[in-house]
Amino acid sequence: GMMHEVISRRLQRLLNEDEDLPDLIVIDGGEVQLDRATEAALSLEQSNIPMIGLAKKREEIYFPGEKIPYSFDINSPAMRLLR
């Protein structure tokens, strides 16, 4: 519930202030947290914002609508950037 609230408030503030929306939202968490964040964006009709979830326990990346996470080399430049 808190993830939905945080994302809703942030996006609503950006919309109210006519600010640019983010190019990517990285959620600290896995499938459940990402689902709540995408629901928040959908409730504001902002389904075009890319989001991923970064589950830190195993350094897995979740994409909306996909149940199976992706795993990458934890020492790769991309994973270092995300962490």
Instruction: Render pLDDT for 45-61 as a digit per residue (tens, 0 to 9).
Output: 998 999 999 987 778 99
Query: What is the C-alpha to C-alpha distance for residues 69 and 54, in angstroms, rounded to an integer?
Result: 9
Its pTM stands at 0.84
Instruction: Render pLDDT for 17-48 as a digit per residue (tens, 0 to 9).
Output: 999 999 999 999 889 999 999 999 999 999 89
Q: Which amino acid is at 75?
A: N
Give me the torsion for CA of 12, 4, 24, 15, rounded to 10°.
Answer: 0
Query: To which residue do tokens 């990402």 refer?
Result: 34
End-to-end CA distance of the chain: 24
Residue 72 CB coordination number (10 Å): 12
